[in-house]
Amino acid sequence: MINQRFRQKLIDLIPVRRLRRLLSYHFGWFPHNYVQPDVLISSIKNLELGGNVYIGGCGAKLCCEGGIKIGKNTAVGEGCFFITTNHNYKSEKAVPFDNVGLKQSIEIGNNVWIGARSKICPGVKIDDGAIVAMGSVVTKSVPKCAIVGGNPAKIIGWRDKELYEKNASLNNTFDLSKEWEWITVEGFKEYLTEGKI
């Protein structure tokens, strides 16, 4: 049987994106991940995708030296930056840091949505069903079904856990092979109030 990486490379040779997607779904050759062509990935051998993962382009970068694991049914928006390395600024030998690189993995759970232009720092775990608002800088781990936003990211809300569990148990997930349907939402959000997010 042909191994998964070889099958992926064969499909990637097809120049028409829609045809690549249809073939992968039709034959079930690999776990239906879609990474935009302009996503930059360093140390790709340390990247693990769980299936039905979408990673948007427009300058998105995944630095996988410390390892990145992304669970199934997860969407990563355009221009996101995942970094798994840091400098040793606590060195007694040099400032601002020495020549020792620190590696720490990132783990993203299942059914996670990471908004465009978000930054995920080393050593962060984002649990199942979480949502990261666009432009957030995630410096600490995120609990299940939390909605986080800001710099540094803080919990700003919670997903409906009952609805989440229902959809997750029925495997109701987004379908990468379907076209988007857009619906206009009327009205504006509340005004900002001082001292509140």
C-alpha–C-alpha distance, residues 4 and 178, integer Å? 23
Phi and psi, residue 7, nearest 5°: -60, -40
Is 87 tagged catalytic?
A: yes
pLDDT of residue 28: 46
Q: For residues 85-110, give the mean pLDDT.
A: 87
Beta bridge partners of 63: 42, 83
Q: What are the contacts of 163-167 at 24+ separation with CB within 8 A?
A: 164/111, 164/129
Q: Which CATH number fits domain 31-169: 2.160.10.10, 1.25.40.10, 1.20.58.2030, 2.60.120.620?
A: 2.160.10.10
pTM (predicted TM-score): 0.77
Q: What is the mean pLDDT of the chain?
A: 84
Where do you find CATH 2.160.10.10 in the chain?
31-169
pLDDT of residue 30: 43
Instruction: Tell me the pLDDT tens digit for each residue of 113-172.
Output: 999 999 999 999 999 999 999 999 999 999 999 999 999 999 999 999 999 998 888 777
Q: For residues 7-34, give the mean pLDDT.
A: 60
Active-site residue among 9, 17, 18, 87? 87
C-alpha–C-alpha distance, residues 196 and 55, integer Å? 32
Least confident of 11-15, 44-48, 111-115, 180-184: 11-15
Closest among 120, 92, 116 to 105, alpha carbons compared: 120
Closest among 128, 136, 34 to 82, alpha carbons compared: 136
CB 100 within 8 A of CB 122: no
Q: For residues 53-67, give the mean pLDDT.
A: 89
Using the predicted structure, report yes or no on whether residue 112 has a pLDDT greater than 60: yes
Phi and psi, residue 48, nearest 5°: -125, 120
